[in-house]
Structure formats: structure tokens, C-alpha cells
A and B are shown apart, each in its own frame.
Chain A
Amino acid sequence: MESIWNKYRWAFVIAGIALVGLFLSAYVVNEEEQVVVVQAGKPVRTVNTPGGQSGAGLKFRVPLFESLRRVDKRVLDLEMRDEEVLSNDQQRLLVNAYARFRIVDPVTMVERANNTDGVRRALEPILNSALRQELGRRTFQAMLTAERGTALANVRENLDREARQYGAEVIDVQIKRTDLPEGAPLQSAFRRMETDREREARTIRAQGTRDARIIRAEADAEAARIYADAFGADESFYDFYRAMQSYEQSFARGEGRGDSSIILSPDNEYLRQFRGRR
């Protein structure tokens, strides 16, 4: 052991220094990140940038002189605060949007925003104001529906223009939520929904009553037709026949009918035989 050390002392020392040097100069760039190599505060080259030449993997640098800034290469999100937007018909809407962006120019990004959080901080107010401006030009209805697409494309363009100054590219802006603000607007919406339903309920009930009335009337009419058809065969007999039925109904004792007393005159037709007349 001792002899080996004595014999190859310098070789060991050199190998050790080389090893340390290797550890200091080699670095690994992951697939999901990009690296800016900074030399004395000045970015000199980038690794694994979108569209750049050198990709991820094992890389080397000059130890001590070059430092690394690692930047996310993936699609990042920019979350917006809930923002109250006033439509041009003076209705309020609580809007919450997000943007997806990617650092495409890490050198600019490092110089101007330091890190991705810096980019977020810079872009958030821009997203808020761009969205507010764009949606504020539209009616409440349009904010909700049809024109959403074009509005968001405009917002994306505006935001992208600003983001380029920070080395970022905005891929997409989407409205995540559009809500009515708590309090009066929400309550009035509920009230409107309620009255709307009340109206509907009322209409339905009225329709029911109308239909019922019509059904009854049709039945009555049909019954009248049937009666007329049958009774029209002989009107005088009907008169007699119906009179007989009517007497029975009116005078006969039965449930729920008053008692009847009949005072007959001897001249009555019924008593004709009774009197023995001929």
C-alpha cells in the first residue's frame, strides 16, 4: 500500500484533481428544463432551448467561471385572480382565467425577469387588464357565449406580445370561470330564475284548466248531438216521455229530495176514471 502510494503519488494527485474538475464542470440537463450558462453575469449560451441546437443530457462548462441558470422548459400556467369585469351593458361578471405559457428565450427571461415567477408576476396584471378591456367591450351575453373565442384570441395576442419581452410565449388563454358576483347580482339572478319558473308553473296550470274545459265542452256537445239524434225522431212523443221522467224525478220520494204533497183537482186527467165519468 505504502509503496503504491509512493510510486504513483503524482498520478493519484492528478487523477484526483481531474476527477474534481470533472465533477465541477459536468452537469446534467434534464429533458424538462433548459439551462442558461452565465459567465460573469453575462449569458453566453443556452442548452436545450426550444428550437435550439443542443439538447438535454450531460454537458460541460468551465468550472467556477460559468454558472448555470436552470429554467423550466415545460408549459407553465399563469393563474389569474378572480376579477370583476363590467360588461358594456353595465353588468358585472366575476371572471377567472388562466394562460399557458412556455419560456422560449431563456436568456431574455433570465435578464428581464430573473425566473419564471418573475414572468408570472409581470404577466398577471397584463392578463387581468387585457381580459378586462377585451370583455368590457362586449355585452354580458357575448361575454358568456358566442364571442368568447375571438375575445380570448385577442387577449392571447396582447399577452403574447408582452410576454415576448420576457422571453415567454403564450400558448393559450382560456376563461376558466365566469360567475355572477356574490350579493345583489347573484340574488337577482336567482330571483329571475324563480319568477321565470313561477310563470312557467302558472302557464302550465292554466293550460291544464283550459284543456279540461275544452274536453268537458266537447263531451257536452257530443251528448247534445246524441240526444238530438235520438229524440228528434218524434218530438211529441219525446215531450210526453220526458215529462213522465221529469214527474218521476220531481215528485217521487228519494234520497235528498224534499217531501211532496200533491193536491189534485177532481178535474185532473188522472182522476177521470176515478169519477166514473165516461
Chain B
Amino acid sequence: MTTGVAGQGLAMAGKKNPWGGSGGGDSGDAGRGDADQGPDSGDADPPSGDKGGPRGEGPRNPWLPGGGEDGKRRSASIEDIFRNRGPEGPRRRGGGPGGPNFRMPQRPGGKSWAPVIAVVVIGAFLLLSSIHLVEPREQGVVKRLGSYSRTLDPGLHFTLPFPIETVDVEDVQGVRAVNIPASNQRAKLILTGDQNLVDLSYTVRWNIKDLADFKFELADPIETVNEVAEAAMRASVAEKTLDETFTGQGRAEIQQRVRLRMQEFLDAYGAGIDVLGVEIAKADPPGEVVDAFRDVSVAEQNADAARNEARGYAQQTLSRAEGEAEAFTKVYEQYRLAPEVTRQRLYYETMERVLAQTDKTVVEADNVTPYLPLPELQRRSRQQAPAGQ
């Protein structure tokens, strides 16, 4: 690739220079020279301006300051060019024909430089097109007159010059990654085996296994990789259920299967491509149903919360039971030592506590107080309550 471009550049330079050279040497052809070229050659040979013919000898270089009167060329520095650009510039003023005002130095014998320059340029180009530096991660295929000749491994190589042998150097070790769907594409939903849809994006990494196969066997290897990846992915996802595509285990299996499938397909096409790996970046439910999927995880949390609450209750209940049982047991142990006394004591203590906090009315037997002022008692107790606070 690189040599090809360099070759073209050189070829163009080779075409340019001989024209300029011959033009300067012979006739009014110089007028057709490029803007860059004129000043350059002119600088190389300042006195050539003297030789500029009188007006009307031929088309003059329109890019140069008009040398009509004295024939002397001014240096064509950038400032001059811009200064002369105005309406009063020489482009207007000196639009008329002028003589060619630069020349190559004379060759001994008065011959043209053109053949010499042409030979040098072509020679350099041929030399450059036969030297090839192949970098460590690269390989190059050599085609001799269109026919595959050999593969170049990394290192410095010499081939026959262009156009007999052409070399195409390609990075073979470098891993190329394809994202599917590409970032500018809309997500395509993939059908799972249980007829659900999953929104999947993945990356395929590959490199070149055999450069000659890669170059000559497939019309469009990169597009083929994309298509094969999609076919393999859809076939593999169709073997799994939706839930499996969400789990790590299922995903790993899908990745593995896609890789093997792709390799199988590509080998069948003789693509010369190694599929290094397939990674699923994202496996999500489609946007339309994502709420329902979220609700499932919410439900899981709810269920867990309910279980936790129940466990809390259980611990509380058991602790309380143990506490009460223990308290009873302790008291009972003492009670057994002196049953009657303990019983009496507990009775009186409890009554004390109870009656100390309640309103008490002792009703004398039978005839004394037949009327129970219950509402009044209640009122009194209600009045007491705020006062007590």
C-alpha cells in the first residue's frame, strides 16, 4: 500500500518536472508551468530573466510578476505575491504576453535536462517500489503480474519493481473488533428459543490467519465477517431460552458457540480469518417490556423483605418465650423451697401494685350503699388524669 502511494507521488513529480524543464529550455511552454514551479526554477537561475524575450514571443507565466519592461524578475516571496494581489497588482497590469523568464542551467552540449530528470525519477521510483519493509505485526502478499507469488514475513524484502511485482502489506496480527449492532444502528431484537426477544449487543474480535486467502478468496471479507457473526449469533441465541441469555453461564455458552460457528463458516469460505473471540456486551429485555422485567426483581425484593420480617418476628417471639419461661422457672424454683410463703408474698405484692394504681371503692355489705356512682367515678378519674400529668 505504502509503496503504491509513494510510487504515485513520485510518478507525478516525475511528470511535472520534465515539463517545467523543457519549457524553460525551449519555448513558450513555460507559460503552462505551475505556480510553485516557476519561482523555484527562477530562483535557481536568476540571470535567466535577461533572456526573457520581448513581448509577444509566447504566452508568459501568468503567476509571475510581469517582467515586460525590464525583464528582471523580482523574487516571488509570499509577501510579494500577496502585495501584488490587489486590483492594481501585476495580474491586471501585466496581463499581456511576455517571454519565458526562467531556464534551467545549460547542460554541457546544450541538450535538455528532461531525459536526465526523467531517468532519475523513474529510477528512484523503481528502486523504492522494490524495497519493502514489513513490520513485525504485518505481512505482505506479492503479486507478480497479477498472479499470487509469495507472502512476505516481517523484515526487509526486495521484489521486482512495479508494475511487475506489486506488494500489498496488511496488518495481520492486529485484532480487529466489530461491534454489532454498530453504534449508529438501531438495536435489533433477537428471538430466543422460547420465542422471546432479547436486545443483544456484542463484539467480535478477529484477525487475519492467512493473508493470501484473505485477499483473494472473499469478495468482501469484512462484510462477510459481519454477516456471519449475525447469522451465528441468531442461531446460537435461538438454542437458548430468554433466561439463559441473561445468566452468565448461558452467555458464556453462547459466546463460545458463536465463535465456533463463525470459524466454521469462515473456514468453509476459505476466508483466512481467525475468530479470536465473541463477547456479549449487553443482553437486555427489549425496551417495551423492561418494566415487567423490573417488576420481577422488585417482587424478589418484596419476597425477601417479607421473609426477613418473618424472621425478625420469629426471633422476637422465641426470645420472649425463652425469657418468660426462664423467669417462671426461676420463680418456681424459689416457690418450691417455700410454697405457701412465696405464694402469699406474690399475691400481696401483685395486689399492692394493682390496687395502688386504681380507684378503689369498698362496698360495705348489703344495706349501706345501694347506689354505685359509676359515672361520677369516671369523671373524677378523668379530672385526675390531666392533673396528674
CA distance A194 to B290 in the complex (A): 8
Q: How far is the CB of B359 from chain A (nearest CB, A)?
A: 4
On chain A, the number of residues with a Cβ less than 8 Å from chain B's Cβ atoms is: 88
Partner of B296, one of A197, A216, A240, A265: A197
Interface hits, A69-104 → B, CB 8 Å: 72-77, 98, 100
CA distance A28 to B143 in the complex (A): 11
A111 within 8 A of B: no
Q: How far is the CB of A162 from chain B (nearest CB, A)?
A: 20
Segment of B78-86, B127-135, B213-221 engaged in the interface with chain A: B213-221
| Contact string against B for A residues 217-251, beta-carbon threshold 8 Å, 1 for contact and 0 otherwise | 01110111011011101100110110010011001
B40 within 8 A of A: no
Interface hits, A129-185 → B, CB 8 Å: 140-141, 144-146, 148, 171-172, 174-180
Segment of A12-20, A37-45, A52-60 engaged in the interface with chain B: A52-60
Query: In the complex the two chains form, is B188's CB within 8 Å of A177's CB?
Result: yes
Query: In the complex the two chains form, is A176's CB within 8 Å of B317's CB?
Result: no
CA distance A193 to B241 in the complex (A): 12
Q: Which residue of A lies closest to B235 (CB)?
A: A148
Query: In the complex the two chains form, is A205's CB within 8 Å of B303's CB?
Result: yes
Q: A180-B197, A226-B322, A248-B350 are in contact. Are A253 and B306 (CB under 8 A)?
A: no
Query: In the complex the two chains form, is A190's CB within 8 Å of B309's CB?
Result: no
A189 within 8 A of B: yes
Q: A29-B146, A197-B295 are in contact. Are A226 and B325 (CB under 8 A)?
A: yes
Query: In the complex the two chains form, is A223's CB within 8 Å of B307's CB?
Result: no
Which residues of the partner chain A approach B303 to less than 8 Å between Cβ atoms? 204-205, 207-209, 211
| Contact string against A for B residues 119-137, beta-carbon threshold 8 Å, 1 for contact and 0 otherwise | 0000000000000000000
Which residues of the partner chain A approach B377 to less than 8 Å between Cβ atoms? 261
Which residues of the partner chain B approach A248 to less than 8 Å between Cβ atoms? 350, 353-354
| Contact string against A for B residues 287-304, beta-carbon threshold 8 Å, 1 for contact and 0 otherwise | 011001101101110111
Query: In the complex the two chains form, is B325's CB within 8 Å of A74's CB?
Result: no
Which residues of the partner chain B approach A189 to less than 8 Å between Cβ atoms? 195-197
CA distance A55 to B146 in the complex (A): 10
Q: How far is the CB of A12 from chain B (nearest CB, A)?
A: 18
Query: In the complex the two chains form, is B362's CB within 8 Å of A230's CB?
Result: no
Q: Which residue of B lies closest to A148 (CB)?
A: B235
B174 within 8 A of A: no
Query: In the complex the two chains form, is A234's CB within 8 Å of B358's CB?
Result: no
Q: How far is the CB of A269 from chain B (nearest CB, A)?
A: 8
Query: In the complex the two chains form, is A209's CB within 8 Å of B191's CB?
Result: no
Q: A57-B145, A271-B362 are in contact. Are A212 and B318 (CB under 8 A)?
A: no
CA distance A57 to B343 in the complex (A): 121
A67 within 8 A of B: no
Which residues of the partner chain B approach A196 to less than 8 Å between Cβ atoms? 196, 292
Which residues of the partner chain A approach B156 to less than 8 Å between Cβ atoms? none
Query: In the complex the two chains form, is B227's CB within 8 Å of A77's CB?
Result: yes
Query: In the complex the two chains form, is B146's CB within 8 Å of A56's CB?
Result: yes
A260 within 8 A of B: yes
Q: A189-B195, A227-B321 are in contact. Are A260 and B359 (CB under 8 A)?
A: yes
Question: Which of A72, A73, A174, A227 has its CB near the most chain B CB atoms (within 10 A)?
Answer: A174
A112 within 8 A of B: no
B5 within 8 A of A: no
Q: How far is the CB of A217 from chain B (nearest CB, A)?
A: 9
Q: Which residue of B lies closest to A194 (CB)?
A: B292
Query: In the complex the two chains form, is A179's CB within 8 Å of B189's CB?
Result: yes
Partner of B357, one of A30, A216, A252: A252
Which residues of the partner chain B approach A68 to less than 8 Å between Cβ atoms? none
Partner of B329, one of A140, A148, A200, A233: A233
Q: A197-B289, A212-B309 are in contact. Are A172 and B269 (CB under 8 A)?
A: yes
Question: Which of A75, A179, A207 has its CB near the most chain B CB atoms (within 10 A)?
Answer: A75
Query: In the complex the two chains form, is A223's CB within 8 Å of B320's CB?
Result: yes
CA distance A209 to B303 in the complex (A): 7
Q: A189-B195, A248-B354, A260-B358 are in contact. Are A172 and B321 (CB under 8 A)?
A: no
B50 within 8 A of A: no
Which residues of the partner chain B approach A121 to less than 8 Å between Cβ atoms? none
Query: In the complex the two chains form, is A227's CB within 8 Å of B325's CB?
Result: yes
Which residues of the partner chain A approach B188 to less than 8 Å between Cβ atoms? 177, 179
Q: A230-B325, A263-B361, A271-B362 are in contact. Are A190 and B289 (CB under 8 A)?
A: yes
Task: List chain B positions with a Cβ less than 8 A from chain A.
Answer: 143-148, 188-189, 191, 193, 195-197, 215-220, 223-224, 227-228, 230-231, 234-235, 238-239, 242, 265, 268-271, 285-286, 288-289, 292-293, 295-296, 298-300, 302-307, 309-311, 313-315, 317-318, 320-322, 324-326, 328-329, 331-332, 335-336, 339, 343, 346-347, 350-351, 353-355, 357-365, 372, 374, 377-378, 381-382, 385
Q: A28-B146, A75-B217 are in contact. List 7 more A-B contacts (CB 8 A).
A: A30-B143, A74-B217, A177-B230, A197-B296, A204-B300, A248-B353, A270-B355
A-B contact pairs, 23 of them (CB 8 A): A28-B146, A72-B219, A100-B224, A141-B193, A145-B239, A177-B234, A193-B285, A197-B289, A197-B292, A205-B306, A212-B306, A215-B310, A216-B313, A219-B317, A231-B325, A234-B336, A237-B332, A244-B346, A252-B357, A261-B360, A263-B360, A263-B372, A265-B362
Shortest 9 CB-CB distances between A and B: which pairs?
A208-B303, A219-B314, A230-B325, A223-B321, A212-B310, A57-B147, A201-B299, A56-B147, A197-B292
